Amino acid sequence: MYKKILAAVNEHLNSEVAARYAMHLAKTVGARLYFCFVAEKGQQVSIFNRAEEAMKRIFIDAKKMAIDIEAITETGDPVKKISEIVRHEEIDIAFAATRREDVEKRFYAGTVARDLSLALPCSVALVRVVHMGRIHPKKILVPLKARIGHLAERSYFSAAIANAFGSNIYLLHATKPITSFFHGEVHLTPIEWEKKMSKDISHFMEQLNKYKIIHEKRLVPGRAGRSITIEAAAKRFDLVIMGASERNLLGSIFKGNPVEVVLRETPCDLIILKPRHEDK
Amino acid sequence: MKINSLSTDEVFQILVTSADGLSGEEAKRRLAEFGYNEIEEVKKKPLILKFLSQLTHFLAILLWVAALFSFLSEYIHPGEGMLTLGLAIVGVIFINAIFAFIQEYRAEKALAAMKKLLPFYVKVVRNGKETEISAREVVPGDIILVAEGDKVPADIRIIETNEIKVNNAPLTGESEPAGRIKEPFSGEIINSPNIAFAGTMVVSGSAKGIAFSTGMRTEFGRIAHLTSAVEAGLSPLQKEIVKATRVVATIAAAVGIFFFVLGFVIGRTFWENFIFAIGITVALIPEGMLPTVTLALAMGSQRLAKRNALIKNLASVETLGSVSVICTDKTGTLTQNKMEVKKVACLYADAPGKVQGISLFHIALLCNNTKEAEGNLKGEPTEVALYKAAADSIGHIENKRLREFPFDSDRKRMSIISSMRDATYVLAKGSPESILQICNHCFKGKDIVPFNKAMEEKSVELYHSLMDQGLRVLAFAYREVEIGEVIASKEDAERELIFMGFIGLEDPPRPEVAGAIQKCREAGIRIIMITGDGSRTALAIAKEIGLVRGKGTVVEGAEFLKMSDAELHSVLSNEEIIFSRMTPKHKLRVVNVLKEQGERVAVTGDGVNDAPALKRADIGVSMGIAGTDVAKEASDMVLLDDNFATIVNAIEEGRTVYENIKKFITYIFASNIPEAVPYLAYILLRIPLPLTIMQILAIDLGTDMLPALALGSEKPTPGIMKQPPRKVKERLLNMPLISRAYLFLGLIEATACMFGFFWVLYGGGWTWGTMLPTNNILYMQATTACLTAIIITQIGNVFACRSSREPILSIGFFSNKLIFIGIAFEIGLQLFIVYHPWGNAIFATSPIAAQMWLVLIPFAVLLFAAEELRKFLARYRLR
């Protein structure tokens, strides 16, 4: 599915870490890896130098891992330039790090991360780097909704990342509690929840089995965003991989936005995948 | 691959830093990316929104509609008193919202207590220079310098160490100082000895490290995140009240709408129907229920305080009563936390032998960090007990400690190098498993012989026999350091030791605990022991206190970690369970699984890392004496005496509170029928309205309140701890309660009030079908009689509601003095309403003759007698 992977690098440490995730993915799936740095016009030389140094470090490591690699440096508007590179090189997936300022903006509207995920004609993996100690994730949490869009790509991506680091995957479905008007919240045991598991989740698990990934699943009633961060913190997960929000602005205002909550509160690194490869 | 498994150079590389530290510019950039190194609260619903939600639930909306229509009526028909009614309804909405909010409110101070564990300033290396910065500005990649007395500001990977020891208690619960190393360590970060964690304190030595995780992403931040984010949800009582109010509000709305339509069908005017609809709705809604419940809970919390249990939020008082599982620590809660040496056992002798002038007690005394200060021994309880026993036995020994390899949870032992007389020795003590594996000799009589397989097996047998007696067992070993021998590391020191023997220490159970556990058994409450002790010791203690009677299921920490959630579910379904060799961080998982099984869980804890489990449990119980501030702030109840028996007393109190809530709900609901029947009579019989809406509110929010509260302070019935915990599906407002209140007690009261109303009307010459204006004296006296009838029958009702089956004499007619105070208040308020001009003006009443009271009193007696008869028949049927 992924033949060409691009990682956007800049002067920030988290972009370097995000690029390393791309590097390991490229190694696992045998893809060609492109590193690109787009210098904005009028950017300070020191910033340019730092980005160059980061590029060099990644380049050396990628070479050590025998990855087919290409480094690109451009000048201009990052979103526009990266978009051009993606189109020109027919990139399958692009990695970019989210910035803290992205997290602080409500619905992370108007941020480079969001612009990239909307503008790029390929799949986008937005990486939020928060923990520098867990270099190779061993425990990956994959929260799933009952209905999973782009199921094939999401399961492929999760399996590939797990393979890259030899990790186990834990699937989490945080579902709305069942309520009735007079009885309020109805308590269901895990076995009863199990019976209510959606076909898509079962299908996702079948896909992981196909990729021979060890996985466990857990269903919890509660608000999705908060349940994910609690699970990630309680069980010391190293990485969370979740799908990008499909909720519109109005929906986010009234119902909340789980992706936004996880982005803000994640206790470990987070990859938000915006898949573009259609299910066959 | 994690940071702890890397070499120093690799750490520099991965964090893109160097021995000179970060540049100021880079630090600034990283601060912008990673944020401040501080503990932050997760985003929660603001208090104002929480309060507003109390104004917008189903019942409140119904009342808002009623108030709106009242204001509308005032606009259309001014001077009919609808403005007062509208304002009164709005008042009811706010009173209920305030009381519901008080029940739910709990000051969140746990994070504030956690913040105190982080330093304000810290020494870092930046631009190659040592500098002091605010701890909140530390970023990943910063080189941190820590020394004795410092609090560690972030999770740091140690790269240089000078015999540093840290106290990891906030994270692990172990107060024993743990040494830190700089060498790579493969394993989990949390167990890594080359990491100093944020929130811990440097006890001795100093070190240099690289910060790799800051703020909420540190291990300490993880606990803070969980403490802040996990919620136990609504308490069982709060859920029941939501359900009850929804049922009642739906009934009220449905009845209101039905009769409103019926009124049109039978030809009543819109105005009459409108008054009726609002009246019946207000009559059927128990406006005083929530304030009474809240006040009853407050009184319950006062009683609990007298029994050494401090309640942090009101709803917890009742939640205690529904607890079905208690997860409890052992040391200090079930036991007295007063360690004393009980047994000394050697392989080939009963008493400790002496080889080369070294006895087992020499090791116990010298390989020990207990300090003597002002005649007192200060240190960890186990060490103090060993020191005391050894000092009593051999007195003071001249020695010089040359080096110490402190205890850590991985090695499970400590050792020292000490010079005594003319020789130098390695002295070691620790868990039997850890000591036996580094011994290759033991002594037999006065001879040192090789430690063979048979001896090893005999040793294991010996220490198992000690553990089976409920003793905490430590093993002791030593060797003489050869002249010229270089000991550079603990591995050099801790090898080829001579095994000396075991000491078994006892932490005696608290005397009240066995009785409390028996009480829990009778009450159908399961107790799960979670302890750091070994399985055999834990099991022996559990058997001694009656916690385990059969074989019991013992799960060790290592086994627990390997279990999937499904396996844990299956284990937790067993009756008698002990989790041994556990650390507090695992409690949260146990609590989660139990809650998923539908259990109502109480969990005890005292450490910082207990906080998430304390928050998640239905009832988090912290220790008032041994507990940290964080645990106390995160818990729902603080035990002032750290005693398990107090939890059981509190559960008894909680069950009593629930029983009492049912009693006063019966009392309050019974008066809804005489409030509603006048409206039905008004619409169906074409008579003047017998009871005004303001008079209804006078009952619900006035005269009923204190007697109801008095019912809330009834003493526990003898069998309260002999019943199983309330089932999750058991409703507060169940069919027996509703039928008793509405169809039995309520109907008698309704008969009385209608009798009083017609007695006055007919006595005043009224004829059927005549409608009287609202300011007519006769009419006002008739409504006053109707109101008085309800008040008088409610006096009989308050006695009737003191028990559901037991005769009043068996519980003691005068045993609850508050009942009489409540009745006195009720009568006093009614006298004010009936005879004071202000009361007359507010409630549209008019004074009635004293004989009228006498006419109505037999109804109260009738109600009481009828209820005693019903109880008798109920008891008879149960026989």
pLDDT tens digits, B607-638: 888 888 998 899 999 988 878 888 888 888 99
C-beta contacts of B588-591 below 8 A and 24+ residues apart: B588/A234, B588/B226, B588/B230, B588/B612, B588/B613, B588/B616, B589/A234, B589/A235, B590/B327, B590/B528, B590/B530, B591/B327, B591/B616, B591/B617
Q: Do A211 and A159 have their domain in common?
A: yes
- Laid out side by side, the sheet with A69-75 consists of A69-75, A32-39, A4-8, A93-97, A123-128, A269-274, A239-243, A139-143, A168-175, A215-221
- Residue with structure tokens 């009963």? B350
3-state secondary structure of B392: helix
Residue A173: phi and psi, rounded to 5, are -115, 105
Is the Cβ–Cβ distance between B630 and B114 less than 8 Å?
yes
Token pair belonging to A237 = 């997960």
Chain A residues with CB under 8 Å of a chain B CB are 11-14, 16, 46, 50, 54, 57, 99-101, 130-136, 181-185, 187, 189-190, 216, 218, 226, 229-230, 233-236, 261, 264-265, 267-268
B contacts of A185 (beta carbons < 8 Å): 233, 239
To the question of domain B51-103+233-307+651-878 being in CATH 1.20.1110.10, the answer is yes
Instruction: Going residue by residue through chain A, which has 280 residues, state the pLDDT in tens, using 9 for 90 and above.
Output: 899 999 999 888 889 999 999 999 999 999 999 999 988 887 788 888 888 888 899 989 898 889 999 989 888 888 888 999 999 989 999 999 987 777 666 555 567 777 888 888 899 999 999 988 888 899 999 999 888 888 899 999 999 999 999 999 999 988 777 777 776 777 777 777 777 778 888 899 999 999 988 888 877 777 888 889 999 998 889 999 998 876 766 766 666 788 888 988 899 999 999 888 776 6
Q: Where are the domains of chain B?
A: 3-41+112-229, 51-103+233-307+651-878, 309-336+510-642, 340-506
pLDDT digits (tens, 9 = 90+) for B445-477: 777 888 888 888 889 999 889 888 888 899 999
Interface of B with A in 248-267 (CB under 8 A): 250
Which residue, among A100, A107, A131, A237, would best test binding to B if mutated, counting the most B CBs under 10 Å from its CB?
A131
Q: Give the domain-ending residue among A109, A127, A145.
A: A127
Higher local confidence (pLDDT), B284 or A268: A268
CATH number of B309-336+510-642: 3.40.50.1000
Could you confirm whether B642 is annotated as catalytic?
no
With CB atoms and an 8 Å threshold, state whether A233 touches B222: yes
- pLDDT band, residue B834 (cuts 50/70/90): very high
User: Across the interface, do A190 and B33 touch by the CB < 8 Å criterion?
Assistant: no
CA distance A102 to A113: 7
- Which B residues 548-607 touch A at CB under 8 Å? 564-566, 569, 588-589, 592, 596-598
Backbone dihedral region of A72: left (phi > 0), alpha (psi from -120 to 50 degrees) or beta? Answer: beta
Q: For residues A160 and A98, state if they share a domain.
A: no
Residue with tokens 């209920």: B96
For B814-857, the three-class secondary structure string (H helix, E strand, C coil) is: CCCHHHHHHHHHHHHHHHHHHHCHHHHHHHCCCCCCHHHHHHHH
**Does residue B284 have a pLDDT over 90?**
no
| pTM for this model (two decimals) | 0.77
Q: What is the pLDDT of residue A142?
A: 94
Å from B569 to nearest chain A CA?
Answer: 9
What's the rounded mean pLDDT across residues B655-672?
90
Check CB contact under 8 Å for B212 and A133. yes
CA distance B858 to B850: 14
Q: Are residues A11 and A74 in the same domain?
A: yes
Identify the three-state secondary structure at position B129.
strand
Please answer whether residues B417 and B492 qualify as being in contact, where contact means their C-beta atoms are separated by less than 8 angstroms: no
Pick from B121, B140, B159, B124: nearest CA to B215 = B140
Q: Which of B96-105, B439-448, B834-843 has the highest mean pLDDT?
A: B834-843
Please indicate whether, in this complex, the C-beta atoms of A12 and B592 are within 8 angstroms of each other: no
Three-state SS annotation for B463-491? HHHHHCCCCEEEEEEEEECCCCCCCCCHH
Based on the domain organization, do A8 and A117 belong to the same domain? yes
DSSP output for B532-557: SS-HHHHHHHHHHTTS--SS-EEEEH
- From A101, A127, A153, the end of a domain falls on A127
How many other CB atoms are found less than 10 A from the CB of residue B801?
27
Pick from A187-196, B358-367, B796-805: least confident: A187-196
pLDDT of residue A104: 67
pLDDT at B106 over 70: no
- Let me know if the fold of B51-103+233-307+651-878 is the same as that of B340-506: no
Q: B670 near B741, Cβ under 8 Å?
A: yes
Of B157, B212, B226, nearest to A234 by CB-CB distance is B226
| Distance (Å) from the alpha carbon of B155 to chain A's nearest alpha carbon | 9
Query: B596–A189: do the CB atoms touch at under 8 Å?
Result: yes
All residues of chain B having their beta carbon less than 8 Å from the beta carbon of residue A49 are none
The 10s digit of each residue's pLDDT in B688-730 is: 989 988 898 889 888 998 999 899 888 887 788 888 888 877 7
Same domain, A228 and A141: yes
Q: How far is CA B562 from CA B172, B596, B778, in A?
A: 19, 19, 81
Residue B595 confidence (pLDDT) above 60: yes
Task: Evaluate whether the domain defined by B3-41+112-229 bears CATH number 3.40.50.20.
Answer: no
Q: Active-site residue among B150, B329, B408, B700? A: B329
Could you report the per-residue pLDDT of B788-797, keeping only the tens digit for each? 999 999 999 9
| CA dist., res. B147 & res. B513, Å (int) | 43
CB count within 10 Å of CB A104 equals: 12
Length of chain A: 280
Quote the CA–CA distance of B710 and B730 in Å, as a whole number: 25
Q: What is the pLDDT of residue B351?
A: 47
Range of the domain at A12: 1-127
Half-sphere exposure (Cβ direction) of A237: Cα atoms closer than 13 Å: 26
**Among the partner residues A100, A135, A236, nearest to B14 by beta-carbon distance:** A135
- Tell me the C-alpha to C-alpha distance, in Å, between residue B812 and each of B714, B797, B803, B806, B866: 11, 16, 11, 10, 19
Going from the C-alpha of B398 to that of each of A211, B81, B83, B395, the distances in angstroms are: 67, 94, 91, 10
- Residue B819: pLDDT over 70: yes
Residues A245, A160 share a domain: yes
CA distance linking residue A173 with residue A195, whole number of Å: 13
Across the interface, whether the CB atoms of A13 and B230 are under 8 A apart is answered no
Compute the average pLDDT of residues B166-186. 81
CB atoms within 10 A of CB A250: 8
Sole residue written with tokens 């603990």: B490
pLDDT recorded at residue A107: 53
Q: What is the mean pLDDT of residues B722-751?
A: 88
Q: Quote the pLDDT of residue A252.
A: 67
CATH number of the domain encompassing residue A63:
3.40.50.620
- CB distance A12–B247 less than 8 Å? no
Spell out a b/e string for B852-870, using b for 16 or more CB atoms within 10 Å of the CB, else e: bbebbbebbeebbeebbeb
- Distance from the A187 Cα atom to the nearest Cα atom in chain B, whole angstroms: 7
Q: Do B42 and A226 touch (CB under 8 A)?
A: yes
For residues A247 and B580, the model is more confident at B580
Collapsing DSSP to helix, strand or coil, B64 comes out as: helix
* C-alpha to C-alpha distances, A230 to A243, B39, B408, nearest whole angstrom: 18, 16, 29
DSSP bridge partners of A67: none
Kindly report the number of other CB atoms within 10 A of residue B424's CB atom: 17
pLDDT of residue B349: 63
For the segment B373-393, what is each residue's pLDDT rounded down to a tens digit?
Answer: 777 888 878 889 999 999 988
Alpha-carbon span B427 to B433, nearest angstrom: 16
Q: Residue A4: what pLDDT?
A: 93
Residue B430, pLDDT above cutoff 90: yes
Three-class SS string for chain A? CCCEEEEECCCCHHHHHHHHHHHHHHHHHCCEEEEEEEECCCCCHHHHHHHHHHHHHHHHHHHHCCCCEEEEEEECCHHHHHHHHHHHHCCCEEEEECCHHHHHCHHHCCCHHHHHHHHCCCEEEEEECCCCCCCCCCEEEEECCCCCCCHHHHHHHHHHHHHHHCCEEEEEEEECCEEECCCEEECCCHHHHHHCCCHHHHHHHHHHHHCCCCEEEEEEECCHHHHHHHHHHHCCCCEEEEECCCCCHHHHHHHCCHHHHHHHHCCCEEEEEECCCCCC
CB B451 within 8 A of CB B441: yes
Does B30 contact chain A (CB < 8 Å)? Answer: yes
**What residues of A are in contact with residue B233 (Cβ under 8 Å)?**
185
Within this chain, do residues A205 and A227 fall inside the same structural domain, yes or no?
A: yes
Closest to B34 in 3D by CA, of B212, B178, B166: B212
Residue B239 neighbours by CB distance under 10 Å: 16
CB contact under 8 A, A133 and B155: yes
Spatial separation of the C-alpha atoms in residues A170 and A142, rounded to whole Å: 6
CA distance B351 to chain A (A): 48
Matching residue, tokens 């709900």: B665
Instruction: Tell me the C-alpha distance between A29 and A93, whole Å.
Output: 12
For the residues B147-176, what does the mean pLDDT come to? Answer: 85
B29-61: b (≥16 Cβ within 10 Å) or e: bbbebbbbbbbbbbeeeeeeeeeeebbebebbe
- Answer yes or no: do A90 and A165 share one domain: no
Same domain for A13 and A122, yes or no, is: yes
- Residue-wise pLDDT for B177-219, tens only, equals 788 888 888 878 888 889 999 999 898 889 999 999 999 999 9
Same domain, residue pair A81 and A61: yes
Same domain, A154 and A270: yes
List the structure tokens of A72: 């690109």
Report the pLDDT averaged over residues B266-294. Answer: 78
Mark residue B163 as left, alpha or beta (left: phi above 0; alpha: psi -120 to 50; beta: remaining). left
Q: For the residues B357-381, what does the mean pLDDT come to? A: 84
Per-residue model confidence as pLDDT tens digits over B824-833: 999 999 999 9
* Pairing status of strand B201-213 against strand B155-167: antiparallel
pLDDT recorded at residue B33: 87
Choose the final residue of a domain: A93, A110, A127. A127
Q: What is the CATH number of domain B340-506?
A: 3.40.1110.10
The count of other CB atoms within 10 Å of the CB of residue B528 is: 22
B278 contacts B64 by C-beta, under 8 angstroms? no
Distance from C-alpha of B320 to C-alpha of A67, rounded to nearest angstrom:
61
B16, B25, B566 ranked by CB distance to A13: nearest:
B16
Q: Using CA atoms, how far apart are residues B517 and A230, in angstroms rounded to an integer?
A: 33
Q: CA dist A41 to A48, A78, A119, B491, Å?
A: 11, 10, 20, 59
Counting the structural domains of chain A, the total is 2
pLDDT digits (tens, 9 = 90+) for B129-159: 899 999 999 999 999 999 988 999 999 999 9
What is the structure's pLDDT at B232? 67
Reply yes or no on whether the pLDDT at B533 is more than 50: yes
Mean pLDDT of chain B, nearest integer: 87
What is the number of H-type helices and E-type strands within chain B? 35, 27
Are B141 and A13 within 8 A, CB to CB? yes
pLDDT score for A108: 53
Check: CB of residue B356 under 8 Å from CB of residue B616: no
Please report residues of B whose CB lies closer than 8 A to that of A112: none
Q: Say if residue A138 is in the same domain as residue A101.
A: no
Task: Please enumerate in sequence order all residues whose Cβ is within 8 A of that of B608, keeping only pairs 6 or more positions apart, or say none.
Answer: B114, B117, B169, B170, B171, B199, B220, B223, B628, B630, B631
Phi, psi dihedrals of residue B647, rounded to the nearest 5°:
-65, -45
Position B409 scores a pLDDT of: 65
How large a percentage of chain B has pLDDT more than 90?
A: 31
Chain pair A-B, CB pairs under 8 angstroms = 108
